[in-house]
Amino acid sequence: MESTNPVFSFVANNPWIAAGPHMRCVGTGLLALWRKNPDSALRIGASVMAGSPTFSTHFWPAVSHIGDVADCETPCGSEFARVLESYSHKKVDDTRLMSIEWSRLYSHRTALSCLVELACTPPTANAPLDEWGKTTR
């Protein structure tokens, strides 16, 4: 993944975002996106997995299902498969949560869009955040 990818950069700068039970909600959103726009779901899912330093058992059911049904012959599908394989070997971390619970990250309807919005919209885009959602730069 390129560092110019906003989702990858956001997750890499904020590793807490890719660990914890809210990742099940992000996975639900990814599956819904998969049904509407498979290439976008593959790119976003691969960006989250590549940017994350750890493996989430909460996110795994969604991304492994997409990996099972995706066409690995397409550019997006082959990149997703490569990143999925690498992700499956990362150290498990489901406990690293920030002290504040952001309700939008715990909603199956809004979690994925919240993550993408945080990654792509200034001032949070490509920036490390503190537990109150304020940039630390």
pLDDT in tens, 54-74: 999 999 999 999 999 999 999
Tokens of 34: 């998969």
Q: What are phi and psi of 95, to 5 degrees?
A: -110, -15
pLDDT of residue 84: 98
Least confident of 13-17, 44-48, 106-110, 132-136: 132-136
What does the alpha-carbon distance between residue 99 and residue 84 come to, in Å, rounded to a whole number? 29
What Rg value do the Cα atoms of the chain yield, rounded?
Answer: 14
What does the alpha-carbon distance between residue 136 and residue 14 come to, in Å, rounded to a whole number? 11
- Is the pLDDT confidence value at 104 over 90? no
* 124 band by pLDDT with thresholds 50, 70 and 90: confident
pLDDT of residue 101: 53
Q: What are phi and psi of 129, to 5 degrees?
A: -115, 150
Sheet strands (E) in the chain: none
Using a pLDDT cut of 90, give the percent of the chain over it. 61
